[in-house]
Amino acid sequence: PKGYRYGMRELVHLWMAEGFIDSCNENKRVEDIGKDCFSEMVSVSFFQPIGHGFRTYYVMHDLIHDLAESLSKEHCFRLEDEKVADIPCTVRHLSVRVESMIQHKQSICKLHHLRTIICIDPVKDDVSDVFTEILRNSKLRVLYLSLYNSSKLPGSIDELKHLRYLNIINTSISELPRSLCTLYHLQFLKLSLEVKSLPDKLCNLNKLWYLERHGSWINYPYNTTLPQVPNIGKLTLLQQLYNFSAEKQKGYELRQLRGMNELGGCLNVTNLENVTAKDEALESNLHRKIHLESLHLGWSYMDDINVEDNLHLEILEGLMPPPRLRGLTIQGYRSAKYPGWFLQDSYFENLETFELANCTALQGLPTNAELLGNCCSLHLRNVPKLKTLPCLPAGLKELSISKCPLLIFVSSDEPEQHDQLENIMNIDQLASNLPLITHVGPVSKTRDIIASEFSSLEQLMALMDVDMSRIENIRSVIEREEFVIEDSINAWICCHKERMGLIYGRSIRLPLVPPSELTKLYLSSCSITDGALAVCLNGLTSLRSLALIKIMTLTTLPSQEVFQHLTMLGDLEIKSCWCLRSLGGLRAATSLSDVRLYSCPSLDLARGDEMPLSAEELIIFYCVVAANFFSSGLQHLRWLNMVGCRSLASLSIGHLTSLAKLELVDLPDLCFIEGLSSLKLHLVSLKDVPKLNAKCISQFRVQNTLFVSSPLILNHMLSAKGFIVPEVLFLRNCKEPSVSFEESANFSSLRHLYLKECEMVSLPGNLKCLTSLTRLDILECPNISSLPDLPSSLQHIRVRGCERLKESCQALGESWPKIASIRCKEFI
């Protein structure tokens, strides 16, 4: 249909299954040739790209669509309820957009040349009879189903002897018949998350190229772990295998990978702790899998993480990757040495991404500079013994450092500051504010941060050979089973003073100087001082994204002189930097549009003059915010999201004329919001704002989406004069046992109603009055056992995590007559 959003990968796979792609080029894979064809069609505007979140889709221009439809009318047909017409008997490719397949059964079954059936929209009836007839068409190559109303794929699927492509992602099918394993021409098998096990003989499908398991977001190449495939090594033509778990007890020895040399894309090999010898690793023949683009090698256990394991080195020696690899991740590695192939000059021809994660024995990066010569993305995560960084590659675009406590960056010209530490930290403000935000926030995260700081201190003291006995009092408080926030904060302050004294007292001072082309910098749970951060950021004119997470050594951001050169910086996240007092010269970052501040108890948010005027999205979680913080500036702000903030009795936002999204959650002090009448809000979310007064609530006007947790707040809005219920209404975490909607309210625009994690025992009884409602979602509401009468306009109902209601909605159940005619029904 016109306006359909094509995914490149999905469409190329369909072309491959139909045999449309010329595969005579031996040096290029069929999928790559298909992608080249697609890219060429995009370049001449046959397809036009559109962004949707993190994904890119493609649409066909209406004029091109008209031309294509005209030229292909003898072979391609779209079956629609609104366009009832005889289907030409010459049709080979059929797409279906009807509510009932049964009405069109005879027409479909007369198509003896049919090669393709694609169900675009879900059908509301049981199409098992129609499906049985379709299965008699042995010429079918592509079968793409949508919400097939059965949990089982019919055993007669084996009659489709020429089937190349089977897609059941958007279905409720959870069981696959053994007869599926006789479809010897099958190349693509795409399963839904409902499928938990696979037939024993699936390995007989020796022409299978792609075996995938997706959520319903197909068009996006995300793939979840497959159920166990016995003898998977027989699928030697498999071109994509996202996850391979080396578990011998399940028959997944590494030797199963030996003959699978067509594997491409990303391969994630996990549970390497089950491999006990280098010879086993060698049998995988990883170096021969020349089509692989990215490889993840992982040991998963985390017990005795400080114990070095020499066997890891032997195994990694045997898992030598192909030299054309573009991405390599090593996780859970316990040796202090790198394998020989890692140290060979120029072994990797074009390694672009390199990651070390949970590598507890490594003390540095590989010494050969050529290994990372072409690297544009470097990620170091939980490498606790890492002490120094080499000179970073000139072409590096992304740098991520997380949980590397011995990586300490101090500017060489930074003054000795540890003597003035109390003034720098503003201890009194930290000690008074942290219990406030902990009261509304997750205590477990606060406890984890305190424990992490102590662990970092221990490692630093061991490195510098400092007497550990001086921290025993701190240890006794932090390791106490009962968590007392005041005692723990005092212990953390003592711990932090000790650590800062050691950091500033070191004779060696190393700065962090990334290459000037860096676009993304992520620093978490490492040590970088104020001066070192200023040196690091100075001159990064290409930097677009900056994240500072759990950096306890920071007290203020760099000056305006530094930020004014960051002309590309658009995204800033600061999280759990407990000693950060000031945003410094942040206002000079003129391109900064997204600012996120999480759990910074020392941060002075009394006025907004430190905020960049260019800010469009502002998120503040678990901070202390003064009432006049929003009193000026921020004219471009489109989205304001505040969660768990304290000392905010009133909020003045009338001057924020660009504001479209307002989310206020867990604000126990908020009583009033000024200026609501002047705003046109597209989305409003109000949850746990117990003191917000009724007069204020009645002034909200919402154009598209409303999230609420309290029926009281909702009904204050519904009863307000002139209030129109927006298109989407989301009721979440409602504690009341019953909810009723104000019947005098204007529900004419309401299309979608979502209920999630509510404790109510029944739905509002007047749902039938919502005459424009087309979709109803009931998620994780375990107390609801039946449905009331529903409006005839309803086309889609989804029930998840509601066992009692799910039982009532089964055939012959109490609620079945109320949903039998609904086109799309999902029960999960």
pLDDT for 778? 96
- Please list, in sequence order, all residues whose beta carbon lies within 8 angstroms of the beta carbon of residue 724, skipping any fewer than 6 positions away: 701, 746, 748, 749
pLDDT for 670? 92
How crowded is the C-beta side of 665, counted as CA atoms within 13 Å? 17
> What are residue 407's phi and psi, to 5 degrees?
-80, 110
Degrees to nearest 5, angle at CA 551 with 548 and 555 = 100
pLDDT for 423? 47
The model's pLDDT over 398-428, given as tens digits with 9 standing for 90+, comes to: 999 999 988 889 887 665 554 544 445 566 7
The position carrying tokens 């010494």 is 367
Q: Which residues of the chain have a pLDDT value below 50?
A: 217-222, 418, 420-423
Q: Are 547 and 573 in contact (CB under 8 A)?
A: yes
pLDDT for 236? 92
The model's pLDDT over 741-777, given as tens digits with 9 standing for 90+, comes to: 888 889 999 999 999 999 999 998 889 989 999 999 9
- Please list, in sequence order, all residues whose beta carbon lies within 8 angstroms of the beta carbon of residue 53, skipping any fewer than 6 positions away: none
> What are residue 505's phi and psi, to 5 degrees?
-85, -5
> What are residue 560's phi and psi, to 5 degrees?
-60, -35
Total Cβ atoms within 10 A of residue 715: 18
Bridge-based pairing state of the strands 55-60 and 47-52: antiparallel
Q: Which of 232, 104, 107, 119 is nearest to 166 (CA)?
A: 119
pLDDT for 357? 95
Long-range contacts of the stretch 178-186 (C-beta < 8 A, 24+): 179/155, 180/153, 181/205, 182/158, 183/157, 183/158, 185/161
pLDDT for 440? 57
pLDDT for 108? 85
pLDDT for 425? 57
Beta strands in 197-290 (DSSP E): 210-214, 243-245, 265-270
> What are residue 532's phi and psi, to 5 degrees?
-70, -35
Reduced 3-state DSSP string for 341-395: HHHCCCCCCCCCEEEEECCCCCCCCCCCHHHHCCCCEEEEECCCCCCCCCCCCCC
Q: Which of 166, 169, 196 is nearest to 180 (CA)?
A: 166
Structure tokens at 777: 């979602």
pLDDT for 336? 92
pLDDT for 824? 80
Q: Are 639 and 617 in contact (CB under 8 A)?
A: yes
Q: Which of 294, 408, 385, 283 is nearest to 334 (CA)?
A: 385
> What are residue 370's phi and psi, to 5 degrees?
-70, -25
Q: Report how far residue 70's alpha carbon sits from residue 559's, in angstroms, rounded to the nearest whole number.
A: 63
User: Which stretch of DSSP H or E encloses residue 797?
Assistant: strand 796-800
Q: Are 710 and 731 in contact (CB under 8 A)?
A: no
pLDDT for 442? 60
